[in-house]
Amino acid sequence: MLSLRRYAVYLGLAACFLLGTLNYFREPLISRAPFKQQRPLQQPQVEDGEPTTISTDLSDPKFRWDQVPVRYPVKKLAALPTQAPKRLPKVQHDFKPETEQQSSTRKTRLNAVKESFTRCWNSYRKLAWLKDELAPLSGGFRDGFGGWAANLVDNLDNLWIMGMREEFEEAVQAVEKIDLTQCTLEQINVFETTIRHLGGLLSAYDLSGDERLLVKAKEVGSMLIVAFDTPNRMPITRWLWRQALEGPQVADDTVLVAEIGSLSMEFTRLSMLTGDPKWYDAVERIVKILDKQQGKTLLPGMFPVTVNAKTADFTHDTMFTLSAMSDSLYEYIPKMHALLGGVDPRYEKLYKGSTATAIEYNLWRPMTPDNADILISGEVRSHGKFVPPTLDPQGQHLVCFAGGMFALGGKLFNTPAHVEIGKKLVDGCIWTYKNMPLGIMPEVFRMVPCDSRLECAWNETAWKAGVRAEQHTLTEDDTEDVDAIIATQRLQKGFTNLQDRRYILRPEAIESVFLLYRMTGAQYLQEAAWELFTAITNATETPLANAALSDVSFSPEQMRAEERMVQMDSMESFWMAETLKYFYLVFSEPEVVSLDEWVFNTEAHPFRRRVPE
């Protein structure tokens, strides 16, 4: 999936790519390495000051991340926009009063979602308190995000939104105890820490106004900004943070574009709330590069999967996608426009340029037995200026976010055609859920792309030819019956390959269902949401919480007959923080976290938008 220009580079970066892919599909490795005491730092000469010596004894109670000296200081910090926010187009649908029956049904479903969340929270509180994740089968825990209580911080806003005030107060008191001088990891993912920890704290503060949360958010932000202390002020996204206290840092020459390009909402919101521009300045430098280099990539308008942070060159890779490793870069473009109140014209330019390219090259209509008018977003390989790019007709659960992104952009930038595109993308994800045996979408799959987005009749012969083409181990002389392949691989009609059969409790489908429902009021989306919730909870529920699934291609009957176990001992924090939040909000009253007042980060944390008074 990761695009590389030269074969030699490909070999050298294969391991790096695998690590990036696994992390982006969010299954962190577990490390329990203690954060050891370090020797005093001897600082090098820097242009604007003399070297100094500081203590890096992290066991010293006086150590503070905001007092770590800056090796490469910024001479003049970029200031937050001061213009009054614009009156942007209305995003949320004007809902009519519901009938008594509609209200009763909605509230019943809302309570079911809350019961599921409460059950998971109580198990976490009892068995994995202040750990990153609860293991939902064994009752153990995982600390794959630094040991900084990821599940707790990720769900502060949920506790507030769901009215669980006593649990919220207990959680806030626990947050104050999180020690950022201790870590279970040698290397932390700056992106994941930003969206989960910083995003979770800022959102909970925006909702509750509890100052303790802003204090901790500043502490997290003060730690994360040290990763930007490089010669060109580009961040180190996979950060060996002990080394940051031992000597100079240099940004990496191969970085996932989503990880470097998806820090803007959280850093900007922290500057907005504190009045300190240093966090906004840090991400503003990245936005400048995106703005300047957007038309210079090998697929102008979009950015490649990997970029060079060391040289600040975001143009040379050949793979382009809205999917994993690029996704939230594009998601944050219209959301930053909303967060800042529409005062920075670069975000409209970036949105229109990237989506025009994606619509032309990445979006495709799959051939389905019911001739469904749906879209899926795939991956595109550029071959240079004189050869047309090629589409890989792959679908991913993760890219289901794109339906909500297009619909939001269509609303904010007054482009109704994008709302319609968003609808077809959302419908594509719903279709994929409904056409799997468990009613649950797999991580990665392939289908036969239609020649036209306007008309596409089902052709069983073409489908079977597509299935056979996916069997890369077969030769032309092999006579294996395609029907046998379909049966053995449990392929439903329309699917040619299930490259990753897992479901890891992902939120992207219900995320876009929720957003599109709030924007259009279309009732079928609430019904689809309930079908998704029912299917997911039926398959994933454990005695303690909910578990990821290793294979969603089995029917319930097959699993019973074969006594097959597909539940895995894994429940990432986004199950509660994102998936259950969006299920809860789709059945809430529309004014609860209105899209005209709030905008969500990629971990489903709502930030308060700048809007005219």
List pLDDT tens digits, range 73-108. 999 999 999 999 999 999 999 999 999 999 999 999
List pLDDT tens digits, range 281-326. 999 999 999 999 999 999 999 999 999 999 999 999 999 999 999 9
Of 181, 352, 193, 334, give the one whose Cα is nearest residue 267: 193
Of 238, 252, 336, 244, give the one whose Cα is nearest residue 290: 336
With a cut of 60, say whether residue 2 has pLDDT above it.
no
Mean pLDDT over 505-523 rounds to 98
Kindly report which listed range (424-438, 470-484, 563-577) carries the lowest average pLDDT score: 470-484
With a cut of 70, say whether residue 368 has pLDDT above it.
yes
Residue 63 binned pLDDT confidence (cut-offs 50, 70, 90) = confident
Residue 527 annotated to the active site? no
With a cut of 50, say whether residue 451 has pLDDT above it.
yes
Determine which one of 470, 508, 511, 572 is catalytic: 508
Mean pLDDT over 357-363 rounds to 98
Q: What is the pLDDT of residue 18?
A: 40
Q: What is the pLDDT of residue 62?
A: 76
Determine which one of 133, 192, 206, 572 is catalytic: 192
Residue 56 binned pLDDT confidence (cut-offs 50, 70, 90) = low
List pLDDT tens digits, range 217-264. 999 999 999 999 999 999 999 999 888 888 899 999 999 999 999 999
With a cut of 60, say whether residue 15 has pLDDT above it.
no
Residue 508 annotated to the active site? yes
With a cut of 90, say whether residue 561 has pLDDT above it.
no
Q: What is the pLDDT of residue 14?
A: 39
Q: What is the pLDDT of residue 242?
A: 86
Kindly report which listed range (284-293, 307-316, 438-447, 475-484) carries the lowest average pLDDT score: 475-484
Of 380, 373, 264, give the one whose Cα is nearest residue 322: 380
Residue 577 structure tokens: 């923080």
Residue 11 binned pLDDT confidence (cut-offs 50, 70, 90) = very low
With a cut of 70, say whether residue 405 has pLDDT above it.
yes
Please give the Cα distance from 1 to 319 (Å, whole number).
Answer: 8
* Alpha-carbon torsion angle 283, 288, 289, 290, nearest 10: 90
**CB within 8 A of 188, min separation 6: which ones?**
145, 146, 238, 239, 241
Residue 560 binned pLDDT confidence (cut-offs 50, 70, 90) = confident
List pLDDT tens digits, range 100-154. 999 999 999 999 999 999 999 999 999 999 999 999 999 999 999 999 999 999 9
Residue 478 binned pLDDT confidence (cut-offs 50, 70, 90) = low
Helix, strand, coil in percent for the chain, rounding step 5: 45, 10, 45
Residue-averaged pLDDT of the chain: 91
Q: Where are the alpha helices (DSSP H) in 413-565?
A: 416-434, 460-469, 482-488, 508-520, 523-540, 556-562
Kindly report which listed range (88-102, 314-328, 332-346, 546-560) carries the lowest average pLDDT score: 546-560
Residue 218 structure tokens: 């500043």
Q: What is the pLDDT of residue 16?
A: 41
Residue 443 annotated to the active site? yes
Please give the Cα distance from 268 to 201 (Å, whole number).
Answer: 14
Determine which one of 443, 470, 578, 603 is catalytic: 443
User: Is there a contact between 345 and 387 (Cβ–Cβ < 8 Å)?
Assistant: no
Q: What is the pLDDT of residue 484?
A: 93
Please give the Cα distance from 376 to 444 (Å, whole number).
Answer: 12
Residues 326-342 as b or e (16 or more Cβ within 10 Å = b): bbbbbbbbbbbbbbbbb
Residue 132 annotated to the active site? no
Q: What is the pTM of this model?
A: 0.91
H or E, element range at 201: helix 199-208
User: How far are the Cα atoms of 1, 158, 258, 289 from residue 268, in angstroms, in the given order?
Assistant: 31, 22, 17, 17
Determine which one of 327, 344, 427, 578 is catalytic: 327
